[in-house]
Structure 1
Amino acid sequence: MQYETLTVDIVGHVATVTLNRPDVRNAFNETMIADVTAAFTALGAHENVRAIVLAGNGKAFCAGADLNWMRKMAGYSDEENRADAMRLAQMLSAVYRCPKPVVARVHGDAYAGGMGLVCAADIVVAVETAHFCLSEARLGLMPATIAPYVIRALGEQASRRYFVTAEAFDCATAQRLGLVSEAVNAQALDATVQRIAETLCTNSPNAVRECKQLVQDVAGQTIDTALIEDTAVRIARIRASEEGRDGVSSFLEKRTPRWRDQ
């Protein structure tokens, strides 16, 4: 997998996607948007990949939109602006909807659209010195395409504040709000990410995929008859799956499940 604005490395069952525009703090333009979308689409379909780490090169994780790209957008027609915004929305969806679990390795600041990428991940490991900011209102804009992911990650009340104030907040606040799963010092970042990725890879690939989808489908839903029936159908289906049967059998027989040998 060769991309202009990022690198992709696969070691064992773990793929690492690294944003690679350090000279502009990994700010994204149309090329990076296309690259991230293509990479996560390809890795989501990659049979050998069981977990994806999203990282950044340089001082920042991602500073949001590239200023030169934003200047170009100012001259777009309404139709061109909508098409451009849709490509950004599709990039975020590619990360969020990726069937493989995504671990964001946040080694530096994440601003604006960069926060969208963080919020689209399933697990976020960040250094204690990282800062986060929804800075769009400072520029007369709004965090529209990233809003579905940010509101899910921060919650409605915190989103109300940080959308309108455009304040930066630290890693401790991000962890308190539930955005950051683990806050660590820089020396422990890689080991923590590796530990989580390895844990993901020991579990049933099918179960991990179904669990991720389960959360997305059930979160925020009313607990009614339809939802109860849906969850019963899901557990019945996975019990009868090949990995479901093997997982239960291996536990009872005190042996390693077959997917760990693959």
Structure 2
Amino acid sequence: MKHVRQTHERGITTLTLDSPDNRNALSADLVAELANALRRSSVDQDVRAVVLDHSGPTFSAGADLKSPANPYAFVDLLRAIVELPKPVVARVDGSARAGGLGLLGACDLVLASASSTFAFTEVRIGVAPAIISLTLLPRMDARAAARYYLTGERFDAAEAARIGLVTEAAEDLDTAVREVSEAFRKAAPQGLAEAKRLVTARVLEAFERDAEDLVQRSASLFASAAAREGMTAFFERRDASWVL
């Protein structure tokens, strides 16, 4: 079963996360398929830009707790998006949670419908947004990151735009995606690649400096007793033991 669907139109390749039954969770299979699709897009001269879309009402719910991706594979996927010599635009029309927000941080532009919602839910199962900090902390307002990392609160697209998580909270999402796609079609491939290198430099510095530490920290957290309790409570649809 394929988890990523690909279409192409006039220089724009759309990669659609297509695992709606588990809310496009970041399973080992989905991460591998998306990485392979990006690798092909990177060397395909007919691809001017990539749109990362989703089927179902959830862009991505984050880590697949039943079939998780290897953390190093997830880091490699995030880096592949950042280093792709072509713009990558996320199209969000619904919800995005936890690790799914790391994908958004890796993308160059994030266009979200006004009704979309976001949340860093990791703290509620006893872990933290460790690996996804590679793409998010260089882009987000620091005070906002502290609030939403620590509280796990849900916030809307307007707030996501204010704090730097998304580029635009669009009233007409399809029009917004179409407008940036037309702009990319008018741009020289070399110009796009070099402009992207300028705006992703700080993000890549975070990978060089922090990736190994954050992978180890994430692995330690997910192996902890607190995480086991949090994930068990999640699957059993009950409050975790620490809820007051």
Deviations 1:130-183 (A, max 9, x none): 111111111111111110111122132222221121111111110111222121
Unpaired segments of 5 or more residues in structure 2? 206-244
Q: How many residue pairs get matched?
A: 205
Output the CA distance in 1 between the equivalents of 2:83 and 2:128: 23
1:214 aligned onto 2:198: yes
> Structure 1 residues 65, 217: CA separation in 2 closer, same or farther (over 3 Å shift)?
closer
Question: What CA distance in whole angstroms lies between the structure 2 residues aligned with 1:139 and 1:119?
Answer: 22
Measure the CA separation in 2 of the matches of 1:123 and 1:10. Answer: 19
5 Å-filtered alignment, 1:100-249, equals 100-185=86-171, 188-217=172-201
**1:61 alignment partner, SS class:** strand
Q: Does 1:32 align with 2:30?
A: yes
Tell me the equivalent position of 1:233.
none
The residue identity in structure 2 corresponding to 1:103 is V
Identify which range, 150-159 or 23-32, moves more after superposition. 150-159
The answer for the alignment partner of 1:65 in structure 2 is 63
Q: Any stretches of 5+ residues in structure 1 without a counterpart?
A: 74-83, 222-262
Q: Distance in 2 between matches of 1:90 and 1:109?
A: 24
> How many angstroms apart in 1 are the aligned matches of 2:75 and 2:45?
26
* Alpha-carbon distance change, 219 to 133 in structure 1, aligned in 2, over 3 angstroms: closer
Residue 218 of structure 2 corresponds to none
What is the one-letter code of the residue matched to 2:150? V
Is 1:56 the counterpart of 2:54? The answer is: yes
Larger RCO of the pair (alpha carbons < 8 Å, separation 6+): 2
Letter in 1 for 2:8: I
For residues 105-129 of structure 1, give each alpha carbon's deviation from its aligned partner in whole angstroms, at most 9, with x where no partner exists.
0011110111011111111110111
Deviation, structure 1 residue 66: 1.9
What's the TM-score once normalised by structure 2's chain length?
A: 0.79
Partners of 1:199 and 1:180 lie apart in 2 by: 19
SS in 1 for 2:137: helix
Counterpart Cα distance in 1 of 2:131 and 2:125: 16
* TM superposition score normalised by structure 1: 0.74
Once residues 151 and 66 of structure 2 are traced to their aligned partners in structure 1, the CA distance between those partners, rounded to angstroms, is: 25
SS of residue matched to 1:152:
coil
How many Å separate the matches in 2 of 1:96 and 1:18?
A: 18
What residue number does 1:46 align with? 44
Equivalent pair of 1:134/1:167 in contact (CA under 8 Å): yes
Aligned to 2:211: none
State how far apart, in whole Å, the 2-side matches of 1:86 and 1:220 are.
16
One-letter amino acid matched to 1:167? E
C-alpha distance in structure 2 between counterparts of 1:178 and 1:208, whole Å:
21
- CA deviation map 1:163-216 (0-9, x unaligned): 12111111111011122212123xx21121011011012011101100100222
Contact 1:15 1:51 in 2 (8 A): yes
SS of 2:50's equivalent in the other structure is: strand
Partner in structure 2 of residue 22 of structure 1? 20
Equivalent pair of 1:44/1:98 in contact (CA under 8 Å): yes
CA contact (8 A) 1:103 1:197 kept: no
Identity of aligned residues (%): 36
Supply the distance in 2 between the matched residues of 1:184 and 1:60 (Cα, whole angstroms): 17
Q: Which runs of 4+ in 1 moved over 3 A?
A: 218-221
